[in-house]
Structure 1
Amino acid sequence: MAGALGLLTIGDGFIYLSLQARDGFATQWFPLLYVGTNVAYMLLAVPAGRLADRVGRARVFVWGHAMLAAAYVCAAFGGVSGVTTLAALALLGAFYAATDGVLAAVVGQSVAPQVRASAIGTAQTVVAVGRMAASAAFGVLWYSLGRQPAIVCVAMLLAVAVPVSWFALRRSAPAADDEACATAVDVEAGTTAP
């Protein structure tokens, strides 16, 4: 699932270029887009981790991709306004907060302790390769169709992939995720699971 969603995750630079083309701000402000995304990530990483421990890590991972789709929509359709730029940066930061550390936690809970680090490294590699392929394909799409149609196309594909992933997640292992959530809540409350 993570690898498939990675195939619909374009590089941040494309989003930033789209925001710049749409809003027409000076090139000197371009690096601040990275800063804005990182500030949002920094503020949301711990709350996203806590939420993942409470409601399920894989669920939060999928929700993070819904935030990414919303960031794509802001980049494609927002008016000439700093508000939609800030919203896109906040949503992009929220996406990273809900996926980066959470992916490691999802993989870590689903494999034997002896291979946990290898499994996490493999999952991160699969996602990174998927994102690299997505960025290359998106570059071709941008060149062929133009900025806005390319982003809309990827946003629509991601909007379909998120519910499909959600459905697959609910069918595959709801009991294991619920058990992990219950254990996390018990630990946080200072009790032990039976």
Structure 2
Amino acid sequence: MTALDTPRKVRKTPRNVPEALIYEIMDGKPVYYKGYREVLSGNKKITEIMGSSSLQALIVFYLTVFIGKFIDEDTYTVLTSEAGLHIDHKNNLANDIAIFEQSVLTPDKISRKYANVPPTIVFEIDIDADVEDMTETGYIYKKTQKLLTFGVQKVFWILTEAQVVMVATAERIETFDWNRDIELMHDQSFNVGAYLTKKGVILS
């Protein structure tokens, strides 16, 4: 059993949790930001739990720049920064990076609201949600399945503690060491481990 599979002791959710602490809505229930209880107890400020770690931010930067070097902007639109995705009235999810076909996310669908059409590809870097009522693995698989059912073709999970990349499609789910080349699309491959090594980042 890995750390991701270790069941957590479920604690009763406090009443009157501010809406600002909601990370996602899944199956009609709020999923709060990891660390929201510390905010409620006064031990942390909201801004302390909403920001990405420097490692997460660096990986998002790497992927965004990498995608930007080959993506055809006449064909695709790339959204970042926890882009909201409205699947249905019970599910509003957040994505670190979402690549949409422009024929699907047409200009008239760009608004101040969440996107309500499926991206082609989604990237998630670590888990920013407090997953009290399930294991972290359970959360990953549940969210992944919702994305795939909605129409996403490929979901990437980059897990920094395990240093792996999980690649999910409707046909299979595979997990790879992040030091190998992993195909993204159009014969373009990324390598998180190689990039971090190039930047001189050493992780324990």
Shorter-chain TM-score bucket reads 0.3 to 0.5
Higher relative contact order (CA 8 A, sep 6+): 1
Instruction: Give TM-score, length-normalised by structure 2.
Output: 0.32
Larger % of strand: which?
2
Larger % of helix: which?
1
Instruction: Give TM-score, length-normalised by structure 1.
Output: 0.33
